[in-house]
Structure 1
């Protein structure tokens, strides 16, 4: 993509009074005579000509009668003047907000087309500020901070110093934009519970098979699903949140890119939707999950972890799971309980029964092929 330079944008714009003055001078009138004809004081006419007072509907009608041009013309001239003046004032404010850009993952936002690709030099920074404000749907960086940094986020951070609000907010906003394009019925908890049973069986399928079925099952239950590639420094595997009281969203990043991580993240976020939305206040929480978090003190995260783990590998199979040490046994066990072998391997590694380097060839690798700004799809391949 070609980088854009700032387009020509003059830093001046004339008030409609200049047009009034041109006509008056052509007719050989003085401002005093114009004031007399309009029925205004000379001071008011002077202010009108110099753009110090806005041109009102009353003034437009008087100018129509005195100078001949329509009232619509004068009002349009005034509106254009005020609009350009406001844009110039906004550009000055944007220049003072340029430091905000340092908090945002501009490179990634440009790469996916969320903001125009351009050099982040002093001349372009006001345009970049405007583009980022439009992307986030806020009027200023202060509103951005109030909206995103002030969110009630339940975030399992093991590396808090390496995660930043700018990257996280950008990733969340990309998901919001995808979700805004999706339609569906209101959330139905009973249908969601039924869908999750069917979705568990999809863990054995290839991504090109399970993804459309997964989306369809969730849509029927009123749950939105979006896949947004991970953004550096965000360190998120997924998020569960409510965009409205009847529209829950599960957003996944494929952080880790293997099916054991994908499916655990999915069922973990599903647990938040299912278990932790019992009141309007609950639905204000955003459960943003770091895949590398070592621990969390939030009991809701523990509950979601336990629920997801037991959903994929029911607790009654724990003793059998603990004894698995070969690929053949892991595959037989996975077949018996109806999940992909990679999920079994991931659980064995997580629980410390085998080394992290063992049996990884039983896992399935995923990747996001489409842009985060479009409707993405999964692609799968076998690999270690």
Structure 2
């Protein structure tokens, strides 16, 4: 008894010829008589009854006349048999390479199960099958080639794992697809929301994501924070949706609050500057004019440019001085410290007690 790797028996896949054989026996009709009634050879009928030949659409029509059983019955039987047989063979022909890819994706697969995008109990070949469906590919082996086409074009840096990144991007799509908002993208309203969004920098971390979602939804933007995985060095993804909205996703890779807010306003800069044609995958290592413009936007939103230049000219980077200037700018101290560290005015180990870490829940 042939069994596939999921435990199903090949013998449970019933050829339509077996049903035809039972009907002939019930009616006391010989294969020869059926051959005469349908205008085919007796050997043709014998081949069908013995499961050696399929029932074609044309022969299904002949059986409709000969047996008074609608052709659709036979066509459906044959279709179901073909589908079940294809499923059986599909499971048993999974290559070692696909199983290696599956093992390689173990971390992100575990997360997909935790958030309900993959079934918890699936493993082995059946997990490969479901992952193919999840990623809309006929084989996991196709991912590197597919990922270089169209909107899914991925970076070729050695830091990037095409399998992890492709799976991560699909996860991002599904997470934001589940968010329903009525407002289409409104960049003017987004600009108006920047001051109240900046006020969130003073809030407790648990309040930040739901408030950001609410503010951005009013501007036609679906927002979510997603888990980071090694092999997907992405700080943000922005995607145009068919309903006129945008999706903005940020990763949890960087835990410090100053980096979170700089990255957030960096992505907002991309949106305001109109940098998104279809999908913008904002890799951490990409440097170009659009990235420089988004960086400058984030810097100036967080700290007023002239005031910051004047502060730097004074050269007093003591903690009391930093705190006074932060109050003047109405920003948390950690924002200024992060900027000073980034610009090389203070060391990264300085003022550790003032740095704030965020532990954001994904979703």
* TM-score of Structure 1 vs Structure 2, range by shorter chain: 0.7 to 0.9
1:82 aligns with 2:85: no
Query: Within 2, Cα distance between the matches of 1:238 and 1:83?
Result: 40
Call closer, same or farther: CA 1:145–1:47 in 2, change over 3 Å: farther
Please state whether the residue corresponding to 1:48 is helix, strand or coil: helix
Matches within 5 A, 1:101-120: 101=101, 104-113=104-113, 114-116=117-119
Per-residue CA deviations over 1:226-259 (Å, capped at 9, x if unaligned) read 1111112222222223244723221111212111
Compute the TM-score of the two structures, normalised by the length of structure 2: 0.84
Call closer, same or farther: CA 1:103–1:339 in 2, change over 3 Å: farther
Query: Within 1, Cα distance between the matches of 2:322 and 2:5?
Result: 59
Once the 2 structures are TM-superposed, how far is the Cα of residue 22 of structure 1 from its aligned partner? Answer: 3.2
Per-residue CA deviations over 1:34-71 (Å, capped at 9, x if unaligned) read 212344443542443335333538726735863x7676
Task: Identify the residue that residue 382 of structure 1 maps to in structure 2.
Answer: none
Please state whether the residue corresponding to 1:176 is helix, strand or coil: helix
Please state whether the residue corresponding to 1:287 is helix, strand or coil: strand
Per-residue CA deviations over 1:171-225 (Å, capped at 9, x if unaligned) read 2222111101011121111111212232122222222233222111100100111
Please state whether the residue corresponding to 2:227 is helix, strand or coil: coil
| Conservation of the 8 A alpha-carbon contact between 1:258 and 1:363 | yes
Q: Which has the higher contact order (CA 8 A, sep 6+)?
A: 1
Call closer, same or farther: CA 1:81–1:187 in 2, change over 3 Å: same
Query: Within 2, Cα distance between the matches of 1:355 and 1:173?
Result: 38
Determine which of 261, 274, 277 is the counterpart of 1:276: 274
Once the 2 structures are TM-superposed, how far is the Cα of residue 91 of structure 1 from its aligned partner? Answer: 2.4
Please state whether the residue corresponding to 1:239 is helix, strand or coil: strand
Please state whether the residue corresponding to 2:231 is helix, strand or coil: coil
Query: Within 2, Cα distance between the matches of 1:303 and 1:153?
Result: 23
| Conservation of the 8 A alpha-carbon contact between 1:349 and 1:356 | yes
Call closer, same or farther: CA 1:231–1:151 in 2, change over 3 Å: farther
Call closer, same or farther: CA 1:57–1:332 in 2, change over 3 Å: farther
1:300 aligns with 2:290: yes
Matches within 5 A, 1:266-345: 266-277=264-275, 282-290=276-284, 293=285, 296-322=286-312, 323-345=315-337
Once the 2 structures are TM-superposed, how far is the Cα of residue 76 of structure 1 from its aligned partner? Answer: 4.2
Query: Within 2, Cα distance between the matches of 1:341 and 1:140?
Result: 50
1:366 aligns with 2:363: no
Determine which of 324, 339, 346 is the counterpart of 2:338: 346
Call closer, same or farther: CA 1:154–1:288 in 2, change over 3 Å: farther
Task: Identify the residue that residue 37 of structure 2 maps to in structure 1.
Answer: 37
Query: Within 2, Cα distance between the matches of 1:174 and 1:329?
Result: 45
1:194 aligns with 2:192: yes
Once the 2 structures are TM-superposed, how far is the Cα of residue 98 of structure 1 from its aligned partner? Answer: 1.5
Once the 2 structures are TM-superposed, how far is the Cα of residue 169 of structure 1 from its aligned partner? Answer: 1.9
Per-residue CA deviations over 1:130-183 (Å, capped at 9, x if unaligned) read 1211222334446644553334579899xx323212222222222111101011
Query: Within 1, Cα distance between the matches of 2:32 and 2:154?
Result: 69
Query: Within 2, Cα distance between the matches of 1:156 and 1:304?
Result: 19
Query: Within 1, Cα distance between the matches of 2:39 and 2:295?
Result: 77
Query: Within 1, Cα distance between the matches of 2:305 and 2:39?
Result: 89
Task: Identify the residue that residue 380 of structure 1 maps to in structure 2.
Answer: none
| Conservation of the 8 A alpha-carbon contact between 1:171 and 1:228 | no
| Conservation of the 8 A alpha-carbon contact between 2:37 and 2:66 | no
Once the 2 structures are TM-superposed, how far is the Cα of residue 97 of structure 1 from its aligned partner? Answer: 5.8
| Conservation of the 8 A alpha-carbon contact between 2:239 and 2:280 | yes
Query: Within 2, Cα distance between the matches of 1:273 and 1:321?
Result: 30
Per-residue CA deviations over 1:244-294 (Å, capped at 9, x if unaligned) read 4723221111212111111111111111112134xxxx513423232xx4x
RMSD: 3.1
Please state whether the residue corresponding to 1:149 is helix, strand or coil: coil
Task: Identify the residue that residue 130 of structure 1 maps to in structure 2.
Answer: 129
Once the 2 structures are TM-superposed, how far is the Cα of residue 95 of structure 1 from its aligned partner? Answer: 3.5
Determine which of 162, 168, 173 is the counterpart of 1:171: 168
Query: Within 1, Cα distance between the matches of 2:154 and 2:292?
Result: 12
Gaps of 5+ in 2: none
Per-residue CA deviations over 1:330-384 (Å, capped at 9, x if unaligned) read 2222222122211111111000000001112222211133xx5xxx2xxxxxxxx
